[in-house]
Structure 1
Amino acid sequence: MLGTCLQNVREKGPLVHNITNYVTVNDVANVILACGASPIMSDEPQDVQDITAICGGLNINIGTLNVRTIEGMLAAGHKANELSHMVLLDPVGAGASSLRTNTAVNLMQEIKFDVIRGNISEIKTLAAGSGTTKGVDADVADAVTEENLDEAVVFAKAFSEKSGSIVAITGAIDLVSDGRKCYVIRNGRPEMGRITGTGCQLSGLMTAYLVANPEQKLEAAAAAVCTMGLAGEIGWSYMQKGDGNSTYRNRIIDAIYNMTKEQLDEGAKYEVR
């Protein structure tokens, strides 16, 4: 089932516009290429509308904000909405500073996002809102565990329903919900946390999956999460003595490049609640 989402990306080769942070931009581009899609990077306000117009999806990542890129995000997001393109928000570091938090909340107010993807702390920040914005109850711990899984699923569904977006909460246990159903995903390796930008890479990957599977957005988002986690497992299995996090990063990208529909279907570890 989820493997079909990967197959569709490889067959359709969607073009994805990324306004992402400069820490991980190269890896984001390579992961998008590895899954069979094509990336284009542009954050200049005078350029983004033309670029978004020729793409099928827009990935907005707030990891390295400045005034110019915020302007570009808003312009690109409005254009993408106008064209009914897929749009994803990755609210990197929301809650760490007022600029990040206020920007993420403002983007949610100004732009219709198909998916919001972040860790539990970032999503809790968006759920709480800022300023005059009131959010859903975010009474859930800062890590999704087996012990608090039921509460986390309820939270994910509630925030998805309120925001009108599919919500992907990633961590040791991943949750992907459209407000009605929630995929609980257990792929991945803890060592993935020692690589800068696996979340950013996932956001680019997920945007490609959304563009290639417009009628199955929830399944596409879940498939992207499973792909990244499974690639982490496969990549780790090839690690040798002397290898470190740089090698591991490359092995993850290679695992995505070589992954088949059948491999994803067999290796995806999930349940639906």
Structure 2
Amino acid sequence: MPALPLAKRLPTLDGIVAAHAELRARRPLVQCLTNVVSANFMANVLLAAGASPAMVDNPEEAAGFAKVAGAVLVNLGTPTSAQVESMRLAVQAANAAGRPWVLDPIGAGGLPWRGAVAAELLRQNPSVVRGNASEIIGLAGLGEGAPGFDSSDDPAQAVPAAVELLRQCQAVSASGPVDHVLGWVGDSADSAVPRLLRIGGGSALLPRVTASGCALGALVAAYLAVSEDAFTALSAAHVHFAVASELAEEGSRGPGTFAALFLDALDAVDAELIRQRAQLMPEQAGA
């Protein structure tokens, strides 16, 4: 995989604040191969957070763009044969160019064809896998999987599956009321162990806005482009999302106003708000 440096320790608040500062300073270019439902909202989320989106997902251009993007998102929300070919080409180019990329395996455990595509892409060693609990379980081949978008599974149930997926990537997250983020930590690849960081906060309105999870995957890619390691990048994206959603909920009247205020809040999040509101709860994950 296009490996970022190994995380020497669990992500810290200081590290997350530093990653946020880098995101704002560098405005990374993120290539998004995503679904038709999420593209507009995802692009607006990236712009509001401080990154630059590019929805380049055709076979003729996907590989060339992946070579110059800061990071690549591969989202399996509504895959077509042509888009899957673009994903293959973009992933191959990203790996060859040393660009980090994110796999968001929407519905991977519930639909056979996309499940096979997800398994194929996983073998190409993404930097990060991000999904809800049922998608993480389904991708790892545990249980029956789930339909995908609106999982009610507890992310804690996905921890064993996430540890399994770490055999093929650097960090994994399962989203939910408390996000569970796992990654490798150590001084070398031989001594690294999987560790778990739980991230609290957020808003119950997030699942009521179309493409909020998809947009989180894109923000993960943006942080991958500027962070020192994948574990910190993934954690920083989850914290940024959680803090922004809390701010948005405070002024919203429901899902519609929340969606608009969420974009404003992504822009408003700064170092002070991260330090005030981030809820980091580290735990040991089993090997």
Relative to the length of structure 1, the TM-score reads 0.88
Tell me, what secondary structure is at the counterpart of 1:163? coil
Range that drifts further, 175-184 or 194-203: 175-184
Select 1:256's aligned residue among 256, 262, 266.
Answer: 266
Tell me, what secondary structure is at the counterpart of 1:196? coil
Match of 1:144 in 2: 154
CA distance in 2, matches of 1:8, 1:199: 23
Relative to the length of structure 2, the TM-score reads 0.84
CA distance in 2, matches of 1:153, 1:184: 11
CA distance in 2, matches of 1:31, 1:222: 17
Match of 2:138 in 1: 125
CA distance in 2, matches of 1:144, 1:163: 23
User: How has the CA–CA distance of structure 1 residues 173 and 254 changed in structure 2, closer, same or farther, with 3 Å as cutoff?
Assistant: same
Match of 2:125 in 1: 112
Q: 1:144-183 maps to which residues of 2 (within 5 A)?
A: 144=154, 149=156, 152-156=158-162, 158-179=163-184, 180-183=194-197
Number of aligned pairs?
253
CA distance in 2, matches of 1:3, 1:250: 24
User: How has the CA–CA distance of structure 1 residues 152 and 121 changed in structure 2, closer, same or farther, with 3 Å as cutoff?
Assistant: closer
Specify the code of the residue in structure 2 equivalent to 1:166: A
Q: 1:185-224 maps to which residues of 2 (within 5 A)?
A: 185-213=199-227, 215-224=228-237
Select 1:52's aligned residue among 50, 63, 66.
Answer: 66
CA distance in 2, matches of 1:264, 1:245: 23
User: How has the CA–CA distance of structure 1 residues 211 and 219 changed in structure 2, closer, same or farther, with 3 Å as cutoff?
Assistant: same
1:138-192 CA-to-partner distances (Å, cap 9, x unmatched) read xxx96227xxx4x654543x22432233101101111111142211011211121
Specify the code of the residue in structure 2 equivalent to 1:200: C
Select 1:9's aligned residue among 16, 23, 40.
Answer: 23
Match of 2:41 in 1: 27
- The percent of aligned pairs where both chains have the same amino acid is 30
Specify the code of the residue in structure 2 equivalent to 1:33: L
C-alpha contact 1:160 1:178 (8 A) present in aligned 2: no
User: How has the CA–CA distance of structure 1 residues 155 and 53 changed in structure 2, closer, same or farther, with 3 Å as cutoff?
Assistant: closer
Specify the code of the residue in structure 2 equivalent to 1:269: Q
Range that drifts further, 93-102 or 199-208: 93-102
CA distance in 2, matches of 1:14, 1:164: 21
1:105-126 CA-to-partner distances (Å, cap 9, x unmatched) read 11112x2200000011011111
Which one has a larger percent helix, Structure 1 or Structure 2? 1
CA distance in 1, matches of 2:45, 2:257: 15
CA distance in 2, matches of 1:152, 1:101: 17
Tell me, what secondary structure is at the counterpart of 1:100? helix
Tell me, what secondary structure is at the counterpart of 2:172? strand
Specify the code of the residue in structure 1 equivalent to 2:233: A
User: How has the CA–CA distance of structure 1 residues 152 and 125 changed in structure 2, closer, same or farther, with 3 Å as cutoff?
Assistant: closer
Runs of at least 5 residues in structure 1 that lack an aligned partner in the other structure? 131-140
Range that drifts further, 220-229 or 64-73: 220-229
Tell me, what secondary structure is at the counterpart of 1:112? coil
C-alpha contact 2:243 2:269 (8 A) present in aligned 1: no
User: How has the CA–CA distance of structure 1 residues 126 and 43 changed in structure 2, closer, same or farther, with 3 Å as cutoff?
Assistant: same
Q: What is the alpha-carbon root mean square deviation over aligned residues? A: 1.8
User: How has the CA–CA distance of structure 1 residues 70 and 244 changed in structure 2, closer, same or farther, with 3 Å as cutoff?
Assistant: same
Tell me, what secondary structure is at the counterpart of 2:225? helix
Match of 1:272 in 2: 282
